[in-house]
Structure 1
């Protein structure tokens, strides 16, 4: 009689990179990055300007080519492309918001639903879900994005990404131009839905105080390589944190 033994193998990460290298105009930006984003975790990526953090996110979503290395999505090696990543449950919020200034918030959301080929009923359900998470969107629902403040535009950009109900969310510097309180107002509902759905988030952020409060793990980059990995609590000593920048 055979007896089955429960597997003790470590689950495959939601997303992983191995030996990733990339450059801009002949200058190396990533110099062999290895990184895992686990299922259901918020991983905060920190480092000085030019460390390669934003480039890494662009590669993961297919917006910049890698020179070498491998990207894996749930154990499957692939060549990232925006339409492919979106289809497979990856959403990306770029640095600088990237909203259409001439469209109203409602029109931006409608366009996102149309591009996802969702029917009217499902689209309405998705919008209601996002408005429940980010209720302040209702206050400027019919305003053009170009008339909104930086914080409001960032909320629109994040809300648009959440419409797709992603399993992996790539967030690039969401605090830029925001007061700490506004940034906290954005992160709190995102953390809530992340925990409820088991979503994985890779967060690139300089505002480490607020970002660490919602993160499970921290990785620091410097000059295109990773130099530190640990828990946010391990960096409570500011002197230790400053050595990473």
Structure 2
């Protein structure tokens, strides 16, 4: 029997200014998997993730958690249900220090005050380099360091489902893998589900369990990572 998806979109239609970007998409994020969503710029990947997290209003369709439709999919409702989001472009506050950013994220995630210290230590154990620049303002960090802060912020809620939108932007392949390695280890240890939106297909396939390819607002292919990795022509298409 197929397990009930942790997070799903059914017949999703969404867009901007009355112009749809998503064309009736169905997507499922299964328990304990890393699902990679690939496609060229303009394919609709970011819009799909934002629709799943309640950041883009739906014109039609529904978002489901554990097989149950959400009456009003909002970021607050999804976060409360254990879904975390790492946005494209990192979305950090440049004037705050890393420590301030993480403490604010723990508060926003409704971590009880008595547990925040332990929760911060847990995240710093996953991403130990955050300890090195805790007192620095986030705006002074490198792109890779900022991405680490963004991921750490998302993990403070101990999510069971992590949505990551283009985390490799501006990063060298090795640094991208250095960021993904602890996420993969955490996912394997806890059973967390991960939806990874990526243009860096070669690197993303290394940690993925399943791949969906998008084009023009539709999902056009589902494949195993090895199927794409072993086929140069398919890699060029996506």
Q: Report the TM-score, using the length of structure 2 for normalisation.
A: 0.97
Tell me which residue corresponds to 1:178: 171
Q: Which runs of 5+ in 1 are unaligned?
A: 1-8
Q: Number of paired residues?
A: 236
Alignment of 1:1-245 (within 5 A): 9-78=1-70, 79-236=72-229, 237-243=231-237, 245=238
Return the alpha-carbon distance in structure 2 between the equivalents of residues 17 and 128 of structure 1: 34
Deviation, structure 1 residue 158? 0.2
C-alpha separation between the residues in 1 aligned to 2:77 and 2:143?
29
Counterpart of 1:67 in 2: which secondary structure? strand
What is the CA–CA distance in structure 2 between the aligned matches of 1:119 and 1:74, rounded to whole Å? 25
Normalising to structure 1: TM-score of the pair? 0.94
Per-residue deviation, 1:139: 1.1
Structure 2: runs of 5 or more not aligned: none
In structure 2, distance between residues paired with 1:54 and 1:67: 16
Distance 1:135 1:177 in 2: 21
1:151-186 deviation digits (Å, cap 9, x = unpaired): 100000000000100000000000001111110110
| Structure of larger gyration radius | 1
Structure 1 stretches (4+) deviating beyond 4 angstroms?
none
Q: Deviations over 1:8-66 (max 9, x none)?
A: x3221111111111121232200010111100000000001111110011111111101
RMSD: 1.0
Structure 1 Cα separation of the partners of residues 79 and 50 of structure 2: 13
